[in-house]
Structure formats: C-alpha cells, structure tokens
Amino acid sequence: MRFFRYSLAIYFGKNDFPSMRSLYRKFLLFFALALTSAPFAGARVWPVPVPPELRSTRFTVAVDGKPVDVVHAAASYDYVSIETNSAIKVTITAAQQGFWDRGVDVQPWRLGLRPTRKGQTIELEIKDPVKLAISRPQDFLNHATMLFLFVTKPTVEPKKAVTSLPSYHYVGPGIHKGSINPKSGETWLLAPGAVVLGSLNLFHVHDVNVLGRGVIVYSGPQNPADDDGWMQKPDWHCIGALDAHKIHIEGVTCLVRSRTWSIQMKDSTDFSYEDLRVIGGNPGNANQDGMDWLGGGNTTVKDSFFRTSDDVFAIQGNWDGYGHDKMILPGHDVANILIENSELSTSISNIMRAGWPEKIFNSHNVTLRNSDVMHGGIGSCGPSFALFTFWGADGAKGTHTGYTFENLWLDDWYTLFQIEQEQPGLSGFTFRNIWALQQPPLLSSNLRGPIKNVRIENLKFGQGVVTSDTQIPLRVSDGAQQPVITPGDKDLHASFQFEPAFVQPNTPVIFSADTVLDKHARYTWYFGDGTTAHGQQVKHRYEDALGTELDGTAANGTGRFRVLLEVEDKKGNQDWSEQTVDVVSHLRDPGAPGYNSKTAAPGLDYQIFPGTWPELPTFSTQTAVFRGVALTVGKADSRGFTRYAVEYGGYLHTPTDGAYTFHLLARDGARLRIDGQVVAETGPPFSEVCGSSVNAMRYDSGSIALREGYHVVQLDSLESMSPGAPRLMWSGPGFALQELPANALSHATGNSIQTRLSSGISTLQP
C-alpha cells in the first residue's frame, strides 16, 4: 500500500516532477488495473446491457454470431462498441426493408473494407482496431441513418482494492443521473457499462484524470431553434472546462443530443484526449461543434472519433455572445494544438474553423495530421465549407501563424480551404500530403486579403498531383500572396497502372506501381473488394461486378472498385494513389434509334419549363414554353427566366467499348440518364445556412458500360433557387476525369423530338 500511495502522489501531480508524472501515468494505471482484474477472453460489447432508453431498433448486430445491443446515440445515429483481441465477424441487419439496395458505404475508405451482403444483412470481417462509419453512399447529412462501429483492444476493470485508493472515484455499470464534477487531483474511472446522464464539468480545477469506457449522454435545455450553445457554465456541454489545467481524458464516449457545443474549453491548457468518441446530432443541424478552444491550448487529441452537426474543431479567443459589443472584446491566444490519428465527420460546416467576423485574438502552432475526413460539411456560412476555414471578416484582427494539415485522406468533402482576413497577420499555412479519394472538389478554394506563406505540397485528386491554381481550383484576391504549389517528394510518388483497361469478373488484372527510389519501399494494395496484397506488381481477380459500395447494377452493367496504393519507404514516409477500376458484367449496345450522321448537328436539344419546385418535377406533366439547342450541358438560354426546369436531350458518342463514369454537380437538383438508365442523380436540395437563400452544391457519380457508338443522353436540371447551371464530367477507357466535351454530344435535326419520343426515353414536347 505504501508503494501505491507514493505512486498515486506522482500520478495525481502532488509532486514537483511534471515530466515524471507524464511518464508514470499510463504505467500506474495499467499496473494497478492488471493486479486487480480478471483475465480477458473473447469479444465483449459495452455498455451491457444497453438501458432501454438508449437501445436502438434500426439495426440488429451480431459479433461472431452472438447478438449484441445497438446504442442510440443522437439524431438517427447508432453505435456499437466492441473490445477484442482477435479478428471478428460483425453482421448488421437493417430493420428497414431494402435499406441496403442503394449500396453500402464503409468509411474511412483508406481501409479498403467491403462487406458481403445478403438481403437485409451485411457482414464485415474486422482484424484490427477501427472506428467506422457505415451508411449508404452519399447519405451522410443530418437525416442520414448511420451506424458507427468502434473496435478496440480490451481494457480491464478495476476492483475494490484500487477504487478505494485516495482521490480515486469509480463509476460502475448502470445508469447514473447527474453530472461529474471532479476536484483538483482526482481520478475518475467510468467503468465499461457506465452511463452518465449529465455533463463532465471541469471548472477551475487541475490535475484531473477521467478514464474508462463509460458513456456520457448530454441532453440539455438549450433552445433547439437558437444558438446559445456557446455559454460557459456547468451542465451546458458534454465536457465543459473553464480555467482548467493538466487534464487527461481517455476512452470516454460523448453522446450529444442538444444544440450545444459538445466539448468547450475556455482559458484552459494542458489537455490530452485519447480514444475519445463524440457523436452529436440535433434537429436544427447546427451549433453543435465537436471541440472548441476559447483561449488556451497546449492540447493533444489522439486516436479519436467525431461526428458533429457543425465545425468539428473551432478556434477562437473568446465567445461571450453574438452582439457586436461582445464580438469585439479581445480574446486570449490559442496555441499548440495537435490532432492526430482520428476519424472526422460532420453533417454541416468545416472540419476545422479558426476566427470569426469581428473577433480579435492570436493563434499559433495548430496541426491536424494522420487522420481521415470521412464527411465534410456541404454549403456555406459566409465562406464555403472546407477542410479548413479561417474567417477573419468585418474588422477581425490578430496574428495567426503555423497551421499545418498533413497526411489526410478526404472521402466525402466540399472544398480544400477558405482563408480570408482584412487585417495583416495571416501567415504560414501548410497543406501537405492531402489525398482526396474518388471525388473532385465541388467548389473553388479561396485566399482573400493580406495572407502569405501558404504552401500546398503533394495535393492529389485520385492519382493526379496538383501543380497549379486551376487544378484546385483556387481564387487568390485582395492582396493575398500566391501559394507555393509543389508535387511533393519525387523519390516517393505513388502511382500505378492496370491492364487490361476492360475488366470483367474472374479475369486476371495486372496492377503495376511506378518504381520509387527506395529499393526497400513497401507497396500495399487495397483492391476495393475487401482484399489486399503486397508487391510492386500484383495480379488480382474480381469475383463480381458489384463494386466497392455494392451499388453495381445489372441495368448499368458495371461496378466501380476503389483501388488504393500505399507506398511506404524505410523511414515510414508514405504516399497514396487512387483509381477506380470498373468491372463490366455486360456492355450496352448503342441506344440511339434513328440516328443519322447526315442530319446530326452539334449540341443538345433543350426545353425550358418555368416554375418553382422543391425537387425535379415530372416533365411529362409540365408544359415547356420554348426549346433550343445548347452546345453542351448547362448552356441553355433561359431567356430571362430565373426559376425553371430544363431538360437536355440528344446523343452521346462513346469512342470505344468500356465503362464510363459520370460526375454530376448541381445545386437545385439534376438527373442523368443514358439509354434510359439513371446513372447519376443529385439531391434532394440542401439549403445553405447563415441566412443564405441558395442551396449547397450536391454531387453524385455513376458508371455505365457502353459499346462504342451513339447513345441517347438526357439530363434534367432544376434551377429554381440557386444561380449556376449543372456541371457534368466523365472518365472512361484511356482517359482521366475531365469535363464532358462538346464534341461528344449531338442532336438530330428535323424529327429529333419524335425520334426520341418513339424510343420511350425522352419526354421532350414538340
């Protein structure tokens, strides 16, 4: 016992050796728990049993064949938390009939996971600790039904001998009503199975540790239609801190159901978070940040998971209300923040935001690295949402330097960055090793105002390395310095080819990586069907044409597999590359009845239907006021109408047999059909926030296998709220992603309307 007392004195900080305390903390906890806990065997799920008020019925989950309860987190989000030392099989059955018919999206994509599916049930094999988001493709906004799966190594539960030690508080399994209010020097352990209905309040305390596998469920009194989540007072956040220092939080799950900031730290320093899980959702889909700094810093966040309904991370010097007199109060500096090895998701807003209009404060040395952006917000609040936004408008002042974003994987995302400042002081923003997978940027990035020393190094969209502003794309204005854009380490560049270009099930595909300088480099392949391989050149066979997301259809004849290559040198440096491999089950013959090259002319027919609709109307029930010819999609002349629907129709020429992928972007809604089959469809429309009257840019993509020749193409678009026409890009055999060229499109003169009507494909009116 004397040993424990001396050790705990160090652990709780009652000594003059802070470095020793830092080194000793984890050893002490492990040693004390190991002496007093039973051995662990098999997989287990926490909390067990799930209290009725937390139990979800949207999914039924089994681990290695044994049913486990699913926890309702917030909004339409559920989760399961599993501890295991070995590989497990997880089966997930959706209660809603046909739930997986649109496909299955398992993120982060970097892991290369793909489940098997049988009807309502999918099955995943998990071999390593992971934090996953499981949903349907492109379904990640506030009304999405999502299941989060946390698989970790086992913890051990202490017994009475440890929990009775000085300054040690144990919260056992079961429901506990009321908040946790630690005092300085205390350690709190939330046992697996502990559910706390309240908050963790850290006000004017220091040297506090909160550990374990417990859950804090926060459902506060905030107005669901107002933004009062900024307040600094007890019981107002899942974790709230004011003037707190030397705090360590590990293993805790925060479920946030109110319109409030999830974790708020005001004038607090020396915080460390590890294996933290934050899941938040509210009907207003706003004002529910993941973690906020109001002055302070010296914070590390490691191996954590965030699903939020606003900025995942927000940095500002203070926040005392929304009035002008409150906004202009000078705030305290924020410095030395490190976020790494984490999984990040939001239904709206930015992954990280710093600054706010009128705010006055300084910030320095902020790093986000080695993390997955599974879902970035779409839309805008002032600037468009982005991986990183600095919003220094309306007289905001301060010096802000040393922001680094590196080794990040982007799945569903919007823009790279939006940085603006009216006062001098923004300098030193680095974006290094940013790997955007599959999806192009939806809108431009921006540098506006006196901003300098911005570096973009090895930014890759799929396999392509960005080397110029236009590829990002980027707008530089109002005195901003042009960024330095470099391709990264030429000696460690991941790139690959595969052959044949036309891939069918159960036929061999040869994948070849470009050689890098380090002869000891390790090449790892993720084929998109749940399998992996190592080697510079490998052979692989695809057993089906369903695609990585199990959304391949018999009608379109192809499934898209997201293939990733990771190249790592002997020093641990890495680079990634991504391409889509379309596996074709069958090709569609040219579908353009009556096509005659003698009567064909460039461009597409279009018709304008005036009116306002919340979604695309049924064109057969509408009356067009006029028709014309546009050289390409988005070039219709509306003749002064500002609220209308437009239907384009004509022929698409495919230069060779193969699979073609189409990327469709539109604000109010658009749908692409080829030979009568829906290939891509955006929407429903999603309104921007902060008083904006327009909709956010929406995105969808799809593939279809076509023989060489002419195919009927039809694109329906709604332009009733937002300015801007739809945008259509494509890629195919032998060419990378590009705008759909005008020379691939044509229409028939004379009887073109009657011809397409007789095919049963178009609804254009004569």
For the domain bounded by 44-152, which CATH number is listed?
Answer: 2.60.350.10
pLDDT tens digits for 320-379? 999 999 999 999 999 999 999 999 999 999 999 999 999 999 999 999 999 999 999 999
Mapped onto helix, strand or coil, the DSSP state of residue 21 is helix
Q: Output the CA torsion sign for 684, 688, 693, 695.
A: negative
Instruction: Express as a percent the part of the chain with pLDDT over 90.
Output: 78
Closest CA to 272 of 291, 293, 246: 246
Give the distance from CA 583 to its chain's centroid.
26
Closest CA to 68 of 85, 89, 87: 89
pLDDT tens digits for 288-317? 999 999 999 999 999 999 999 999 999 999
- How far apart (Å, rounded) are the C-alpha atoms in residues 104 and 107? 10
Q: Residues 12-39: what's their mean pLDDT?
A: 43
CA distances from 37 to 31, 32, 163, 420 (A): 10, 9, 12, 54
pLDDT tens digits for 113-156? 999 999 999 999 999 999 999 999 999 998 899 999 999 998 76
Q: Which two tokens stand for residue 521?
A: 């480099």
Instruction: Express as a percent the part of the chain with pLDDT over 70.
Output: 91
pTM of the model: 0.92
Fold of 600-758: Jelly Rolls (2.60.120)
**Residue found under tokens 């697996």:** 192
Q: Does residue 49 have a cis peptide bond before it, meaning omega lies within 30 degrees of 0? A: yes
Mapped onto helix, strand or coil, the DSSP state of residue 2 is helix
Band the pLDDT of 5: cuts 50, 70, 90. very low
Region at 565 (left for phi over 0; alpha for psi -120 to 50; beta for the rest): beta
- How far apart (Å, rounded) are the C-alpha atoms in residues 505 and 546? 10
* Amino acid occupying residue 225: A
Q: What is the pLDDT of residue 49?
A: 77
pLDDT tens digits for 87-110? 999 999 999 999 999 999 999 999
CB 151 within 8 A of CB 303: no
- How far apart (Å, rounded) are the C-alpha atoms in residues 535 and 533? 7
* Max Cα-Cα span within the chain: 98
Q: Residues 561-577: what's their mean pLDDT?
A: 96
Fold of 496-584: Immunoglobulin-like (2.60.40)
Q: Is the pLDDT of residue 765 over 50?
A: no
The radius of gyration computed from the CA coordinates of the chain, to the nearest angstrom, equals 27
Q: Residues 380-404: what's their mean pLDDT?
A: 96
CB 310 within 8 A of CB 283: no
Q: Is the pLDDT of residue 32 over 60?
A: no
pLDDT tens digits for 698-712? 999 999 999 999 999
Q: Is the pLDDT of residue 28 over 50?
A: no
* Mean pLDDT over the full length of the chain: 90
Q: Is the pLDDT of residue 407 over 80?
A: yes
| DSSP of 538-605 | EEEE-S-SSTTTT--BTTTTEEEEEEEEEEE-TTS-EEEEEEEEEEES-PBPP--TT--TTTEEESEE
Q: Which two tokens stand for residue 459?
A: 């930014």
Q: Is the pLDDT of residue 6 over 90?
A: no
Give the distance from CA 60 to its chain's centroid.
25
Q: Residues 724-751: what's their mean pLDDT?
A: 90
Closest CA to 242 of 259, 261, 264, 220: 264
Closest CA to 578 of 702, 436, 371, 730: 436
Of 171-175, 417-421, 622-626, 747-751, which range is least confident? Answer: 747-751
Q: Does residue 51 have a cis peptide bond before it, meaning omega lies within 30 degrees of 0? A: no
Q: Is the pLDDT of residue 665 over 80?
A: yes
- How far apart (Å, rounded) are the C-alpha atoms in residues 333 and 316? 8
Q: Which two tokens stand for residue 443?
A: 């809108």
SS3 per residue for 273-323:
EECCEEEECCCCCCCECCEEEEEEEEEEEECCEEEEECCCEEEECCCCCCC
Q: Is the pLDDT of residue 12 over 80?
A: no
Band the pLDDT of 693: cuts 50, 70, 90. confident
Fold of 165-399: Pectate Lyase C-like (2.160.20)
Q: What pairs with residue 541 in β-bridges?
A: 508
**Residue found under tokens 């044509």:** 746
Reported as type and span, the H/E element at residue 162 is helix 160-163
Which residues neighbour 688 within 8 Å (Cβ) at sequence distance 6 or greater? 379, 380, 381, 694, 695, 696
Show me where the domains of the chain are located: 2-35, 44-152, 165-399, 496-584, 600-758
CB 564 within 8 A of CB 496: no
Q: Is the pLDDT of residue 691 over 90?
A: no
